[in-house]
Amino acid sequence: MHAAPRRPEGRRDLLRRSLALLLAAAGATPRGRAQGGAPGVELTRLALQREGDALTVEFNARVTLSRAVEDALRRGVPVYFVAEATLYRSRWYWRDERIARVRRVWRVAFQPLTAAWRVALGGLGQSYGSLGEALAATSSASGWALASMADLDADAIHYLRFRYELDATRLPGPMQIGIEGRPGWVLRAERELPLD
């Protein structure tokens, strides 16, 4: 009797295990992922500052992509990150009044012909050599004008509601099917900050 030929899945499985062992032995991590980091967004700094007659926002976030998001990026699918800052005035008799809202949308895309990562904000774009550099450019801002000091009531309590997230609604239509609620595609950080 002849031995049954090995199934292709068995060979692939063996190759995957061997590669995983080699990476573990070398202490390597996949490109673009933080070592030991779970996918997500961590706000490392959020501050409101008075600069002249304007109130500005400064933030820094640490973004760790899931394997699914990173794979989509490497296949040429653009991914969008959104930062939104909203200033409210507290009211005891009604819902809190929104004083100002600002929003920034960054588009991150991989360009295979040049092996560059392209980040666009509004009409401006910049190329980066690595995914880490591109993510760093999308996850921080300083001196971001939020409101005029004239819009603030000196006797009222004001607070900032800040949100930074991957916007899955801007993905191509076919990719949006079944993505909602999947852990790898939910990258979000929210925080409230009182105005002192």
Q: 108 lies in a domain?
A: yes
Q: 114 lies in a domain?
A: yes
Question: What letter represents residue 120's amino acid?
Answer: A
Domain limits at 47?
Answer: 32-194
Residues 192 and 180: their CA atoms lie apart, in Å, by 25
Query: What is the average pLDDT score of the chain?
Result: 83
Q: What is the pTM of this model?
A: 0.76
**What phi-psi label fits residue 13: left (phi over 0), alpha (psi between -120 and 50 degrees) or beta?**
alpha
Q: Judge contact between 104 and 146, C-beta under 8 A.
A: no
Residues 28 and 7: their CA atoms lie apart, in Å, by 30
Q: 146 lies in a domain?
A: yes
Q: What is the mean pLDDT of residues 43-47?
A: 95
pLDDT score of 140 more than 90: yes
Closest CA to 74 of 16, 159, 3, 131: 131
Kindly state the tokens that stand for 117.
């990562």
Q: What is the mean pLDDT of residues 29-41?
A: 56
Q: 9 lies in a domain?
A: no
Lowest mean per-residue pLDDT among 3-12, 103-112, 121-130, 155-164: 3-12
pLDDT for the residue numbered 177:
77
Q: 117 lies in a domain?
A: yes
Q: 19 lies in a domain?
A: no
Residues with Cβ within 8 Å of 88's Cβ and at least 6 positions away in sequence, in order, are 96, 97, 98, 99, 158, 159, 160, 161
Q: 23 lies in a domain?
A: no
Total domains, the chain:
1
